[in-house]
């Protein structure tokens, strides 16, 4: 069998110790704590590893300096119930000084020395020194993150401003960030590299104003999202603000309410008969409970579908009003208006309006805006990918589709000798007519655009191949790994290809590459 010969040939391939590092949770924020607060969670390595860096979601202003201290319980311990038990913790590592990149993106904290972890569960506490943290409220469904080497279980926080393991407990809370690490030898690993390719117009457009180098410039402008049946074409709008006549919605600081529409409204996710209006400047199609005030592109992508007129920390309880009503003259129009709503802890008023048309169009109309930082735009949401930054004050002809879909490969089971390694092809589109998975003894980096596979790259030598059917969105590829001592530590490189008519001129798309390191554990 050609694959067996490829496995034997892999024994001569020298490999460096690699890993699926980093293990990432999320960067959506939605809640947070002040400088000197602590985040708690458990880590469970499958094998011994060395943590070298934590990426953080820091809510402090860009450029704010800080460090972190990392505490561990004894092996087998847990954070839960030990948040105020100082005797359960040991200071295991600290970071070099770093500067904040702001909320919603990674700020890297490199440890001054690697932090060694043994296999099995251990409690972790990260205390933020000099910078404030963003984290996410736990829901049960968002508290566990894992790959084949490491599991993270979240979590809680404490207001430890007076010292480690003091203050009040907030739970459940999900630490936002990523754990970078190296794995020891003797451990079978599966590591993705490169990126897959696909097709389709992006389903998210946005403009992010950071309040310093890029200040909100949308005052007295307007744009229209013209509904074209399955997406939008974004054009300048001649619409003007319609003064609200209905009473104000019952919205306070960081709140949301659901409003019934007078007719079914077409969206990329089907018709809706209601929308959710958030005090912080956004409208979600259907019912939503999201009330986040820290604008975040990552959260915009994961939230329900909707329009972000001016996502900022707005507070109608302090000043201004929010209204929702059918147009008194044109019954095909429905207006949602933020009228002079104050930015939190300021007297800065902001006026803008989101108008929905019975026919699916959306107009976003801005009056006078006093805020400096915000996030504006639209996202299909619910896991949207490949967002595109646009200048909303000058947008013309931008297309919003169902999202740039991408074919990817992920690891299901590690390539442990004597067991079956499994990888999975994800993102297979309806209408696809089969695929091929290739196994090779070396990495490649060949641009396949030359044969019409636009944006695709061949990442592995195809020393052996197997065909597979594509009846659904995913396909698993099992491969028994023989017990051959001479191949321990050797690499095998995998990549799959799927025939999807019309995806590109060649009608074939490719996944990222996957490196298997074969070993005994």
pLDDT at 5 over 60: no
Q: What per-residue confidence (pLDDT) applies to 112?
A: 93
Residues 194, 198, 203: CA angle, nearest 5 degrees: 110
Determine the pLDDT at residue 478. Answer: 96
Helices and strands (H and E) in the chain: how many: 2, 41
pLDDT of residue 263: 98
pLDDT in tens, 269-305: 889 999 999 999 999 999 999 999 999 998 999 999 9
Query: Residue 292 belongs to what domain range?
Result: 204-400
- Residues 246 and 386 reside in one and the same domain: yes
Question: Mean per-residue pLDDT for 361-374?
Answer: 98
- The verdict on 430 and 381 lying in the same domain is no
- pLDDT above 60: residue 10: no
**SS3 of residue 449 by DSSP:** helix
* CA–CA gap between residue 337 and residue 217 (Å, rounded): 19
- 233 with 364, same domain: the answer is yes
pLDDT digits (tens, 9 = 90+) for 193-224: 998 998 777 889 999 999 988 899 999 999 99
pLDDT exceeds 60 at position 16: no
**Full strand arrangement of the beta sheet holding 256-265:** 256-265, 272-278, 282-285, 306-311, 373-379, 204-210, 388-389
* 95's tokens: 């970071």
Q: Is 70 exceeded by the pLDDT of residue 6? A: no
Question: In this prediction, what percent of the chain has a pLDDT beyond 70?
Answer: 96
Q: Is the pLDDT of residue 17 over 70?
A: no
- 3-class secondary-structure state, position 147: coil
pLDDT of 484 reads 87
Q: Do 259 and 385 belong to one domain?
A: yes
Q: What is the mean pLDDT of the segment spanning 450-457?
A: 91
Is pLDDT of 231 > 90? no
Could you tell me which of 308, 317, 350, 347 has the C-alpha nearest to residue 248? 317
My answer on whether 396 and 420 are in the same domain is no
Per-residue pLDDT at 391 exceeds 60: yes
pLDDT tens per residue across span 410-429: 988 889 899 999 999 999 98
User: 20: pLDDT confidence band, cut at 50, 70 and 90?
Assistant: low
194 with 170, same domain? no
Q: What is the mean pLDDT of the chain?
A: 91
For a pLDDT cut of 90, what percent of the chain falls above it? 76
- Quickly state the pLDDT bin for 364 (edges 50, 70, 90): very high
Answer with the residue of higher pLDDT: 455 or 368.
Answer: 368
Query: Which of 184, 212, 237 is the endpoint of a domain?
Result: 184
Note the pLDDT of residue 1. Answer: 44
Task: Give pLDDT tens digits for 59-105.
Answer: 999 999 999 999 999 999 999 999 999 999 999 999 999 999 999 99
| Whether this model's pTM surpasses 0.75 | no
**What tens digit of pLDDT does each residue of 476-499 get?**
999 999 988 888 889 999 999 999
**Confidence at residue 14, expressed as pLDDT on a 0 to 100 scale:** 32
**60 in the same domain as 157:** yes
For residues 31, 34, 37 and 41, what is the CA-based torsion angle, rounded to 10 degrees?
Answer: 20
Residue 226 lies in a domain: yes
How many structural domains are present in the chain?
Answer: 3
Domain membership of residue 10 (yes or no) is: no
344 found inside a domain? yes
CATH number, domain at 62?
A: 2.60.120.820
Asked whether the predicted pLDDT for residue 7 surpasses 70, the reply is no
- pLDDT at residue 4 above 60? no
- pLDDT of residue 142 exceeding 70: yes
Whether residue 12 is contained in a domain is answered as no
Alpha carbon distance 205, 136 (integer Å): 24
Residue 412 sits in the same domain as residue 374: no
Q: Verify that 260 and 303 share a domain, yes or no.
A: yes
What pLDDT, in 10s, does the model give residues 337-351?
A: 999 999 999 999 999
pLDDT in tens, 127-137: 999 999 999 99
């Amino acid at each position: 069998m050609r694959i067996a010969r490829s496995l034997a040939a892999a024994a001569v391939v020298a490999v460096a110790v690699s890993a699926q590092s980093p293990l990432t949770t999320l960067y959506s924020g939605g809640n947070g704590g002040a400088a000197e607060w602590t985040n708690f969670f458990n880590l469970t390595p499958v094998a011994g590893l060395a943590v070298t860096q934590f990426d953080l979601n820091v809510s402090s202003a860009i450029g704010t300096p800080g460090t972190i201290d990392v505490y561990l319980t004894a092996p087998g311990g847990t954070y839960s119930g030990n948040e105020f038990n100082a005797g359960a913790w040991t200071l295991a590592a600290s970071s070099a000084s770093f500067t904040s990149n702001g909320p919603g993106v990674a700020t890297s904290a490199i440890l001054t020395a690697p932090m060694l972890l043994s296999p099995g569960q251990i409690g972790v506490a990260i205390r933020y020194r000099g910078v404030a943290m963003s984290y996410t409220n736990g829901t049960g469904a968002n508290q566990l993150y894992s790959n084949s080497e490491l599991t993270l279980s979240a979590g809680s926080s404490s207001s430890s401003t007076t010292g480690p393991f003091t203050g009040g407990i907030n739970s459940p809370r999900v630490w936002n960030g990523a754990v970078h690490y190296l794995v020891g030898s003797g451990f079978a690993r599966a590591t993705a590299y490169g990126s897959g390719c696909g097709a389709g117009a992006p389903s998210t457009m946005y403009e992010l104003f950071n309040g310093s180098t890029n200040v909100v410039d949308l005052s007295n402008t307007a744009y229209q999202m013209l509904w074209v049946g399955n997406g939008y074409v974004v054009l300048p709008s001649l619409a003007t603000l319609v003064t609200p006549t209905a009473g104000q919605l019952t919205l306070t600081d960081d709140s949301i309410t659901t409003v019934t529409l007078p007719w079914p409204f077409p969206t990329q996710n089907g018709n809706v008969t209601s929308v959710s209006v958030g005090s912080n400047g956004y409208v979600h199609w259907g019912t939503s409970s999201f009330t986040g005030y820290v604008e975040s592109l990552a959260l915009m992508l994961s939230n329900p579908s909707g329009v972000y007129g001016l996502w900022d920390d707005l507070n109608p309880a302090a000043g201004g009003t929010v209204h929702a009503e059918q147009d008194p003259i044109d019954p095909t129009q429905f207006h949602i208006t933020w009228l002079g709503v104050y930015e939190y802890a300021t007297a800065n008023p902001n006026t803008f309006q989101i108008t929905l048309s019975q026919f699916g169009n959306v107009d976003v109309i801005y009056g006078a805006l006093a805020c400096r930082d915000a996030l504006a735009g639209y996202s299909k949401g619910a896991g949207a990918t490949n967002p595109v930054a646009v200048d909303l004050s000058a947008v013309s002809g931008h297309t919003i589709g169902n999202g740039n879909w991408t074919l990817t490969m992920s690891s299901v089971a590690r390539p442990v000798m004597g067991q079956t390694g499994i990888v999975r092809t994800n993102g297979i589109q309806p209408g696809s007519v089969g695929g091929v998975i290739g196994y090779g003894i070396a990495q490649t980096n060949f641009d396949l655009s030359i044969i019409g596979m636009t944006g695709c790259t061949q990442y592995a030598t195809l020393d052996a191949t197997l065909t597979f059917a594509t009846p659904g969105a995913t396909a698993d590829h099992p491969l028994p790994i023989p017990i051959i001592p001479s191949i321990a530590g050797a690499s095998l490189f995998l990549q799959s290809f799927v025939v999807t008519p019309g995806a590109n001129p060649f009608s074939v798309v490719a996944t990222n590459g996957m490196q298997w390191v074969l070993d005994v554990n």
